[in-house]
Amino acid sequence: MSVFFIPGVSEHEQVTVEELRDVAAKRNITIPSKDEGDFLTLLRAADLAVKHVDTLPPYVDHRLAPDGVSGSVGLAKLRPYTKPLQEDNPLNAWSHKCNIELPGAAGPLSGRSVAIKDNMSVAGLPITIGTFAEFLSPEGNFPISEIDASIVKRVLEAGGTVAGTAVCENYSAAALSYSPATGPVHNPWVKGYATGGSSSGCAALLAATLKKKMSQGQNGSMSLDDADWESGIELAIGGDQGGSIRIPAAYSGIYGLKPTFGLCPYTGIASLHPMMDHCGPMATSVDDIAILLSVLAGYDGLDHRMTPETPLREKVKDYLKILTDKAEEMKAKEQWTPHAAGRGLKVGILKEGWQIPTLTDEMASIVRNAADRFLSLGAEVEEVSVPLHMDGPLIWTAATRPKMGPFGTANATPTALGYSLPSLKPPPINQRWLELMSHYNPAMVNVVLSSDYLSSKYHLATSAKAHSHVLQLQAAYDAALEKFDVLITPVTPTVAPAHPPSEYGVMDRIKLAAGNTANTCPFNVTGHPAMSIPVGWGSVTSDGEVIAGKKLPVGMQIIGKRWDEETVLYAASVWEVGGFGLQN
């Protein structure tokens, strides 16, 4: 440990002996009077070091600085944005719209527009994280991002156009879509129902495009009413801490992949907890998931979530080529057919995935029938049991909740070196925060209260024990995946529910999402790749009664070995040889 002296600081700016005693008292200790002077000197040295660093000019890492832009004036000029009017934003899916390109860039995303979840940094645009401006900056304004998140830079470098930021749930901490400060995000298939969260706006934009295509007969034989609004978005980037890519994908009938933990950099994105932070592709097709994943993946030199297994950028797999080559190989054998495409694939039906709370009989049947399609495709299909899966949500909670509050609401800096969002400077939580969150997103109040309570009640050894059980759960899934290429579960226990009435209280709102993440959140702490694909339609209900003539999409989750996204994507492609999941 280094001890040093910084000259030029007056006596009144220094730590007092009373402050030293207060610090000691919080540890239930009393410093002997003979040692007080020495420890006061040391404490002053530490305080002066932090004060000095706090006065240094802000630093923007060159790897995150927006290309071709100089200063805030340049940002405003080169990256104008708009807040869409309600009539141009019928699903409340857009947060801000823009048209950002990198001049001269060309690549796999050339000519493609991409929506970015609004907890991700897009330099020059406000970042809202789905909440109120007063909770993100002392001035009460939405912070303007000074950096491009690593994944945003990669989209631009690949020739893509950033079309805007998509609304996300309040603090990115809700599994439904009623919580944004700007109001609910609507499901394009049945307005007034959830798209799922927290990447709700991304899912709604994609589903609107898919619905329009289907109404025109481009992706099935359906004839759909109310399909006149199209976002023009076929690609989006979502975030996932407990299911926030997969749940909205399932509810909205699109595709969403939570990659292996550490495959895609999370740098420049608001965190909920570094152990479970993921970002990944959402799209209207499996192929587009593959294309976008190859653009996003790979080491960025900044994200401490990345591991020695994370590939360097030049080593990132061409996932679309892998899919195409495998399909061509099967076609050469005349096996890329509804009766043979699955040959060689081993599929495990995760027994406990059908035992989660609130799973309806209809959902259980639809997804089990979808999983059984692999049999008709020629794959080997067996049931497999991972008993610890039932404890997965509890392990997820115990391992992450004690620290989630500071990360989620205060932009806390992780202990490992990284690059926290420089523009976010949330003021302390106050009574107004409680009142607004209790109505908009009571789940976030629960996060804050339980985070404070658990971190004060339980010893650090309890956290260490919870982490050990994360590794136990990871090993349990790994053991099952030694026998199978992929595992299958339902994504959600029900189809999307209706948005709650405004008079609903805290528990009424919380109950709507009961069991929603039971099959998704375990893989956020174990890090396995997991993807939702659309596999059918479920009944829509209102006040417990089925609404005739209305249906909502159903998603199936495909889980793979860590760092084996290609097999997850291949399994999805194989399944669709038997037909597009929403065409029935």
Active site residues: 117, 198, 244
**What are the DSSP calls for 334-354, one per residue?**
T--STTTTTTT-EEEEEGGGG
Of how many residues is the chain composed?
A: 584
Burial of residue 315, with CB atoms counted within 10 A of its CB: 0-12 exposed, 13-18 middle, 19 or more buried: exposed
| Nearest alpha carbon to residue 207 among 496, 514, 559, 440 | 496
**What are the DSSP calls for 369-409, one per residue?**
HHHHHHHHTT-EEEEE--GGGGGHHHHHHHHHHHHHHHHHH
* DSSP conformation class of 82: B
Residues 6+ apart with CB under 8 A from 90: 186, 229
Cβ neighbours, 10 Å, residue 429:
16
Return the beta strands (E) in 296-337 as ranges: none
Residue 231 phi, psi dihedral angles, 5° rounding: -80, -25
- Whose tokens are 């998509």? That residue is 166
**What are the DSSP calls for 504-557, one per residue?**
--HHHHHHTTTTTTTTTTHHHHH---EEEEEEEEEEEEETTEEEEEEEEEEEEE
Helix residue ranges per DSSP H, 411-531: 431-440, 442-457, 460-483, 506-511, 522-526
CA dist., res. 575 & res. 557, Å (int): 12
Tokens encoding 572 = 């999805």
Check whether the bond before 198 is cis (ω within 30° of 0): yes
Q: Which three-class secondary structure state does DSSP give residue 163? A: strand
Angle at 353 between CA 360 and CA 494, to 5 degrees: 30
Q: Which helix (H) or strand (E) holds 558?
A: strand 545-560
* DSSP conformation class of 427: P
Q: Which helix (H) or strand (E) holds 559?
A: strand 545-560
CA dist., res. 373 & res. 295, Å (int): 31
- Whose tokens are 């240094």? That residue is 56
